[in-house]
Structure 1
Amino acid sequence: MEPRVTFYSRQGCHLCDEARLVLETVVGDDYTEIDIDSDEALRERFTDEVPVTFVDGRQHDFWRVSEERLRAALALSPE
């Protein structure tokens, strides 16, 4: 089963480091991380919003990840 959380990040991003800590607290290592700089389309789409989290394929947060909001989103059944 694929992780429910996808995390778009980039190297050298302090907000990404902070968001990663929240993700690890909530889901451990059960998330997919994608470096937006590895793909031109992702870099164009998210360059000003990283970090960006998706839950069940839908954009959930950007810049900051709220532990409470993430827990609430994950408590819902995936569609």
Structure 2
Amino acid sequence: MSANLTLYQRDDCHLCDLALDVLAAVRVPEFDSVFIDGDDALEQRYGIRVPVLRDERRDIELDWPFDAGRVQAFLGPANCPPAK
């Protein structure tokens, strides 16, 4: 079963690294990482917006910048355990 969440990012992206740190701190459930580099359609769609966290099931996106509180609100309490 594939994850409902996708993190769109770039190679060598310090903001993407920060986003991964936030997701780890919040203990986000499983998510897929998609690198947009070299994919013309994804480059056009996400370009300078990366990192972007997308909930595939609900068809919504959370653009950077985000922090733990914004991620928790985006996911809802049932989908994300409280941060320690």
TM-score interval, normalised by the smaller of the two chains? 0.7 to 0.9
1:36 correspondence with 2:28: no
SS of 1:48's equivalent?
Answer: helix
Amino acid at match of 2:65: R
SS of 1:12's equivalent?
Answer: coil
Residues 1:29 and 1:12: Cα distance change in structure 2 (over 3 Å): farther
Greater displacement, 24-33 / 35-44: 24-33
CA deviations on 1:7-41 (whole Å, 9 max, x unpaired) are 00001111000001111222356111100114210
Consecutive aligned runs of 4 or more in structure 1 exceeding 6 Å deviation: none
Count the aligned residue pairs: 77
Gaps of 5+ in 2: 80-84
Equivalent pair of 1:53/1:65 in contact (CA under 8 Å) = no
- Aligned-pair identity in percent equals 34
Greater displacement, 28-37 / 41-50: 28-37
The match for 2:5 is 5
TM-score scaled by structure 2? 0.74
TM-score scaled by structure 1? 0.78
Write the distance in 1 (CA, Å) between the matches of 2:36 and 2:28: 21
Gaps of 5+ in 1: none
